[in-house]
Homo-oligomer: A and B are copies of this chain.
Amino acid sequence: MRAFLNLSRALADQARVRALLALERRALCVCQITALLGLAPSTVSKHLSILHQAGLVETRKTGRWIYYSRPRAAAPMARQALAWARRSLTDHPRVAEDARRLQQILRCEPAKLCQRQDRS
């Protein structure tokens, strides 16, 4: 029950759902997700920790960046939650818009994300 409520609460916020779906395609570091959502880094960090605690994302540390991604082996409950979210929202305009904007961000949002160096 605790695990279920952690999942449903994690999915009960638009910013978290947007971040989660953005991570469906590829791993992203916090500053990329921050650029996508347009929220303060501390806020995004909090959102991501909630997704992480629910088991909906996993983290990998690379240099001074922390990449969030879909978990390699999620619990069935989390996988089902993710499948539900994906099926429910892939056609949603906001999500499609995010996918497009994310391409631009990945093409190196000028003056904001281009200080990076080696990031694989």
A contact set with B: CB distance below 8 Å: 1, 3-5, 8-9, 11-14, 17, 77, 80-81, 84-85, 87-89, 92, 94-95
Contact = CB atoms under 8 A, between A and B. Distances in A.
Contacts of A84: 77, 80-81, 84
Contacts of A9: 8, 12
A8 B11 contact: yes
Contact of A92 (B1, B80, B94, B95): B1
Q: How many copies does the complex hold?
A: 2
Contacts of A4: 11, 17, 85, 88-89, 92
Given A5-B13, A77-B88, 4 more contacts: A1-B14, A1-B92, A4-B85, A77-B84
